[in-house]
Structure 1
Amino acid sequence: MTLTGAAPCLGQTIMTANAVDTNNDDWLHAEGSRLYDMNGNEVWLTGANWFGFNCGENVPHYLWSADADDCLTEIADRGINIIRFPISTELIVSWMKGKPNEVGSFSCNTDPSFTINVDFCAEDGKSPKDSMQIFDIMMKKCKEHGIKAFIDIHSPDANNSGHNYNLWYGKAGVTTDVWIDSLVWLADKYKNDDTLIGYDLKNEPHGKGPEGKAAAKWDGSTDENNWAYAATKCAEAILDVNPHALILVEGVEQSMSGAQEGDYWGMPDRKTNSPYIGAWWGGNFRGARDNPIKPKQGTSQIVYSPHDYGPSVYAQTWFDKNFTEQTLLDDYWYDTWAYINAEDIAPELIGEWGGHMDGKENQKWMTLLRDYMIKHHINHTFWCLNTNSGDTGGLWDSLGFQQGTGTTIKWNEPKYELFEEALWQTQKSGKYIGLDHQVALGKNGISLNDFYANYAASEGSNLDGGKTSSGKTINAEQPIETITTSAAPTTTTTSSVATTTTTSEETASNRLYGDANCDGQVDLSDAVLIMQSLANPDKYGLQGSDSHHLTKEGSDNGDVEGNGNGLSTLDAQAIQMYLLGKYKSLPVK
């Protein structure tokens, strides 16, 4: 959002709004290779996948035999702070058109002695609610349990095997424009609800180079099958309606190797000196070195999201030895995706990892990747909770519901034990750390506020070797009260530059209020810089002359709440509320 002009005209009104609440205080942003909350506190997303919205049933699997609250209670109690929900574009389009697809394999039991997921049933008690209503209810339940969520577009069409399709367009009438429009619609619908904090734009774009236009590639072109170009356009469109959302971008399958001059995408492969370098589907980010994702709004919301698997899924060449962390880095990880984190380019979230507990090579690979993610603060969502993933199995072995006792979930305890070490938790007391500032994560969990108020400085977490840190907390009850002056300035415009004529109580100014980083725009990065300067003044305070430091001019620009009283968290919150459309202009007085 770019603004030009003078200080706004304000009438004599009194306006009151909540500065923060459970719907708007948990948005995250990127700086370097890590993610932070609005106060500049570091966070770690450690979660799991729960598929079903992407399938023909249009609903998370097992809700026909398990109660959603029971499942989410156990998910929170087990320390999972975020869920990745695969979904299809076709399903979102049906919501957008006002004709939500029906759910399958789910029926409402009319027997009062068997009450399961009663809030998913219509008023008649006999028919299930539609798929959009159930999605909304699931998001509400996640919020109540202190769990965050993001969706991933698993396929264009609703298809239990839709992940096998290469591209984000070309099925069920889904074009690139329809794909973007549907995501923008959902982002706009949820822009005031920080339960749904991000959008994984497409699961595993893939295809081999010789397939040409039928395969996803990553380069500097504007070709429709260029994933980097499409993802950038989609990111920009989403951020236009919700500048707070995280945008997760996966990789492709193959990239050009540069083996010979004149090699081109779509050419036949060679038996030796191949023009292509392969990877897991969605795992190849070699093209991002020269063509990174840089939306017009900046990169503060971009998260790269590779997928990585072990030999139980496919016997890749890098497993053809007594592999170690170092050989995996040398042979595959580093140049394919790990450099992004290691070189502090952007945060990463391994959107899918996991597999069978074979007691051998696959389990060895899972342990090596888990430990690497912990050591290097890489976010992740394990594949998967579901029992019905054929090539990996799930964290759950079985689920069943019985009246009176509720849902019984049998966890695969050895797999969970391996996974559990990579969940965000306090270093000594082992309390799971949630991403909600107010709501604790399960019976052995704490809220983000609680962690930074009571644990971060004393014991730290299982990141960075237990390094302790200080942080700021958010007061959910703190109101913003803004009272305007009765002397409202008048504004005239000449040659597209607004000039303000004021009373003697005002000073003439062309200041761009809200532009704390002095880049000529008002966007989320301004609120972020204000919070960073307050949380870490030595690093971000009044020094330097670039957008990474707060300058005197930037401080004056950012002083938008109760203008003239100095910077505070209220200024950052006011900018965010302005971006969300809750304030029509800045400053507010």
Structure 2
Amino acid sequence: MGLLSGRRRPHAARRSIRALLAATLTAGLLAATGPAVWASERPAAARTEAAVAAPGDDWLRTEGNKIVDANGDEVWLTGANWFGFNATERVFHGLWSGNITDITKSMASRGINIVRVPISTQLLLEWKNGQAAVPSGVNAYANPEIAGKTSLEVFDHWLALCEQYGIKVMLDVHSAEADNSGHIHPVWWKGTITSEDFYTAWEWVTARYKSDDTLVAMDVKNEPHGTASTSPRAKWDGSTDQENFKHVCETAGKRMLAINPNLLVLCEGIEIYPKSGVSWTSTTPTDYHSTWWGGNLRGVRDHPVDLGTHNDQLVYSPHDYGPLVHQQPWFTGDWNRTTLERDVWDPNWLYLHKENKAPLLIGEWGGFLDGGPNEKWMTALRDLIVEHRIHQTFWCLNPNSGDTGGLLLGDWKSWDEEKYALLKPALWQHEGKFVSLDHQVPLGGVGSSTGISLSEVYDGPTDPEDTQAPTAPTALASTAKTSNSVSLSWTASTDNVRVAAYDVYRGTTKVNAALVTGTTYTDTGLSPSTAYSYTVRARDASGNVSAPSAALKVTTESSGTPSGAVKVRYKNNDASATDNAIRPSLQVVNTGSSAVKLDGVALRYYFTRDGSASVSAWCDYAAVDCAQVKLRVVPLTTAVSGADAYLEVTFAGGSLAAGGSTGDLQLRMSKADWSNFNEANDYSRTTSTAYTDAPAIPAYTGTALAWGTPPT
């Protein structure tokens, strides 16, 4: 599919091309015979009357924490980043040796259904002003199809390729200036480029492609950031100040949506957010919660982005990286997915998904496979993405990303197969094939052996013999509950061989955003002391849905009830508050009516290190055996009153019977230089020499706070 005089084909022409493509597909492709996965609640008999998105209408919107198509069917955006247009070359990197068509087709054939394209405000303004130049970074011999084209013509040509291969596109203003290190600048204005220029650039590019549903999303600004003392810095509050990124998201979003109301608008986080009671005027680092650039969305809870009547186009987009990018405090000691989810992802952004507030798209994550900590982090985040069906664009395709590497190797042709194998489960697949976000074009293009179109997933063809609804699941029961969550289990349908997934309903509302392929589910974001009624339905691969299971009524715990079944007891084994050791003794007690697995329990003893020396911890005695006790000392990102670190206590295994206790855990901490502590003001310490309940030593079961209160 070529170009018309080097310009992007008008929408009317695109519709005719879509029609030709559709005609080559299975005749049943456009028959609304019901989805194979993630169907809405329409019964099997009604599926033949469902609307199907018209050719050329692949726009997306949001429902709760889901992104859906024009039919209301859930989609999963799973892609990668390809940078270069943001840099001085003003064109994709790699075209100095790789072929643009081959690279694009290989992405599609391997399951990349959306590409995030970093760009600069400066380049958008140059395009707007007719100043697009022929980029020097294109090898004409390797790329005869784009030889002599300007950077804008190359981009238009590439959009046509994406249409041909079923890929959707997201633009990201990565920097103000076309600068290879422009992303380091913390805000969206720089030099001669003003905030108004930034908005104008977004309006121009939105208007240019407003009829092109290949370009479906706009990421307002890459990684706004800044520390407590940085000037300028990005902040997040209810003001209209120039540096308030929440206001910028609203302003840019509304101006784009006034031109094209169908776009997804992505809003990233910032770097820091003030602790309770602290003003943005503070320049003290310990007054703020801090995380990755673009990764701090804590402010959304207090100040959500408001796009007015177009809030169903809003997606929040955090970034997250591993220890090879920066050795953050949460990568200390024996960390794992549970600690990352509890300490970093949940409070900074994952709560938006778990509480069904808005969809998330992790715009950047990725890195080198080191066989160690970085790979451990990447696997943990990949598993989270798959479990919750979180949208994502992997960083990145480019092998020349210095601190992460890429999916391609240095020849810009071969793939890093080991890294791709890690990513592959986080790419949308259905019945062994990758899923396009295009209703007509399979991912990989017409005739693809690896991909299918969106209509093939949701609207056929189906097996004409498979028209009977599966049987309903049985024995629905509650396995656990807290003040804000309920865990459920059920017995599989009797014809489980036909069942592809289950849907969980709270009353008449389906609450699972992603496929439930097992027979358990935890519903979160609930209110304390509230009764909820649940049912579960089975669905088969053809979209037939069972009758509901028998209803189960569950009442959540009160807000004052610990959200677990354990408590911590403490006694002080060292009368001196100013010697060179801290010697807490702890006990974990099961306060529930069923056994608790110890490998899911974590305790935290908060203290001050009183100096810069590293602190080590030992188990001197444990009734459950010191070999079963795991200790790590974790510095806090920012100090709080009474603590700049905590000792985390976890267990290698075992369980506690109802009412049971671990018995004594006699622990000890000392500094590398054996200097003295001053424990008098430590958050978790008391002077009690007999075991007493210790709410200042919080305990967690999994990611949930089960006992006590962490310091703030």
The two structures have a TM-score, normalised by structure 2, of: 0.57
Match of 2:341 in 1: 329
Aligned 8 A contact 1:28 1:38 in 2: yes
Match of residue 388, structure 1, among 392, 400, 415 = 400
Letter paired with 1:268: T
Q: Counterpart of 1:211 in 2: which secondary structure?
A: coil
Letter paired with 2:441: V
User: Does residue 221 of the first structure (1) align with residue 239 of the second (2)?
Assistant: yes
Match of 1:526 in 2: none
Cα distance in 2, alignment partners of residues 169 and 323 from structure 1: 38
Letter paired with 2:206: A
Aligned 8 A contact 1:56 1:104 in 2: no
* CA apart distance, 1:91: 0.3
Do the aligned partners of residues 257 and 420 (structure 1) sit closer, same or farther apart at CA in structure 2, a change above 3 Å counting?
Answer: same
Cα distance in 2, alignment partners of residues 295 and 346 from structure 1: 13
Could you give the per-residue CA deviations for residues 102-161 of structure 1, whole angstroms, max 9, x where no partner exists? 41322434xxxxxx322212xxxxxx2111111111111111011011110000000111
Match of residue 449, structure 1, among 455, 467, 479 = 455
Letter paired with 2:421: E
Aligned 8 A contact 1:58 1:102 in 2: no
User: Does residue 362 of the first structure (1) align with residue 374 of the second (2)?
Assistant: yes
Aligned 8 A contact 2:317 2:361 in 1: yes
User: Does residue 187 of the first structure (1) align with residue 206 of the second (2)?
Assistant: yes
Q: Which runs of 4+ in 1 moved over 6 A?
A: 17-23, 455-459
Q: Counterpart of 2:308 in 1: which secondary structure?
A: coil
Do the aligned partners of residues 455 and 336 (structure 1) sit closer, same or farther apart at CA in structure 2, a change above 3 Å counting?
Answer: farther
Aligned 8 A contact 2:95 2:139 in 1: no
Match of 2:224 in 1: 205
Cα distance in 1, alignment partners of residues 181 and 311 from structure 2: 33
Q: Residues 104-503 of structure 1 correspond to what in structure 2 (within 5 A)?
A: 104-109=136-141, 116-121=142-147, 128-171=148-191, 173-212=192-231, 214-258=232-276, 261=277, 263-269=278-284, 274-399=286-411, 409-426=413-430, 429-442=431-444, 443=448, 444-454=450-460, 463-466=514-517
Match of residue 104, structure 2, among 55, 68, 72 = 72
Could you give the per-residue CA deviations for residues 272-298 of structure 1, whole angstroms, max 9, x where no partner exists? xx1111110000001111111111233
* CA apart distance, 1:455: 7.6
Aligned 8 A contact 2:320 2:364 in 1: yes
Aligned 8 A contact 2:83 2:93 in 1: yes
* Structure 2: runs of 5+ lacking an equivalent: 1-13, 20-53, 467-497, 502-512, 520-543, 548-712
Q: Counterpart of 1:454 in 2: which secondary structure?
A: coil
Cα distance in 2, alignment partners of residues 420 and 455 from structure 1: 25
Q: Counterpart of 1:297 in 2: which secondary structure?
A: helix
Aligned 8 A contact 2:177 2:190 in 1: no
Aligned 8 A contact 2:66 2:74 in 1: yes
Match of 1:24 in 2: 56
Aligned 8 A contact 1:23 1:194 in 2: no
Aligned 8 A contact 2:222 2:294 in 1: yes
Aligned 8 A contact 1:102 1:130 in 2: yes
Q: Residues 519-530 of structure 1 correspond to what in structure 2 (within 5 A)?
A: none
Could you give the per-residue CA deviations for residues 458-490 of structure 1, whole angstroms, max 9, x where no partner exists? 78699524499xxxxxxxxxxxxxxxxxxxxxx
Letter paired with 1:35: I
Cα distance in 2, alignment partners of residues 455 and 176 from structure 1: 50
Aligned 8 A contact 2:189 2:195 in 1: yes
Match of 2:94 in 1: 62
Could you give the per-residue CA deviations for residues 418-454 of structure 1, whole angstroms, max 9, x where no partner exists? 000110001xx31111100000112310000011123
Letter paired with 1:438: Q
* CA apart distance, 1:332: 1.0
User: Does residue 39 of the first structure (1) align with residue 77 of the second (2)?
Assistant: no
Q: Residues 508-519 of structure 1 correspond to what in structure 2 (within 5 A)?
A: none
Aligned 8 A contact 2:15 2:55 in 1: no
Cα distance in 2, alignment partners of residues 133 and 459 from structure 1: 48
* CA apart distance, 1:269: 1.5
Do the aligned partners of residues 57 and 326 (structure 1) sit closer, same or farther apart at CA in structure 2, a change above 3 Å counting?
Answer: same
Larger radius of gyration: 2
Match of 1:83 in 2: 115
Cα distance in 2, alignment partners of residues 313 and 18 from structure 1: 44
Cα distance in 2, alignment partners of residues 422 and 276 from structure 1: 33
Q: Counterpart of 1:366 in 2: which secondary structure?
A: helix
Do the aligned partners of residues 157 and 18 (structure 1) sit closer, same or farther apart at CA in structure 2, a change above 3 Å counting?
Answer: closer
Aligned 8 A contact 2:15 2:56 in 1: no
* CA apart distance, 1:391: 0.5
Aligned 8 A contact 2:221 2:268 in 1: yes
* CA apart distance, 1:396: 0.8
**Which has the bigger relative contact order, CA under 8 A and spacing at least 6?**
1
* CA apart distance, 1:66: 1.1
Q: Counterpart of 1:334 in 2: which secondary structure?
A: helix
Cα distance in 2, alignment partners of residues 105 and 445 from structure 1: 31
Q: Percent identity?
A: 44
Aligned residues: 426
Do the aligned partners of residues 62 and 292 (structure 1) sit closer, same or farther apart at CA in structure 2, a change above 3 Å counting?
Answer: same
Letter paired with 1:146: G
Letter paired with 2:416: N
Do the aligned partners of residues 459 and 117 (structure 1) sit closer, same or farther apart at CA in structure 2, a change above 3 Å counting?
Answer: farther
Aligned 8 A contact 1:91 1:101 in 2: no
Letter paired with 1:243: P
Letter paired with 1:395: L
Whose helix fraction is larger, Structure 1's or Structure 2's?
A: 1
Q: Counterpart of 2:118 in 1: which secondary structure?
A: strand
Letter paired with 1:372: L
Letter paired with 2:437: L
Do the aligned partners of residues 425 and 317 (structure 1) sit closer, same or farther apart at CA in structure 2, a change above 3 Å counting?
Answer: same
The two structures have a TM-score, normalised by structure 1, of: 0.69
Q: Counterpart of 2:127 in 1: which secondary structure?
A: helix
Aligned 8 A contact 1:23 1:193 in 2: no
Cα distance in 2, alignment partners of residues 163 and 225 from structure 1: 16
* CA apart distance, 1:361: 1.0
Cα distance in 2, alignment partners of residues 18 and 314 from structure 1: 47
Aligned 8 A contact 1:211 1:266 in 2: no
Q: Counterpart of 1:209 in 2: which secondary structure?
A: coil
Match of 1:507 in 2: none
Aligned 8 A contact 1:86 1:154 in 2: yes
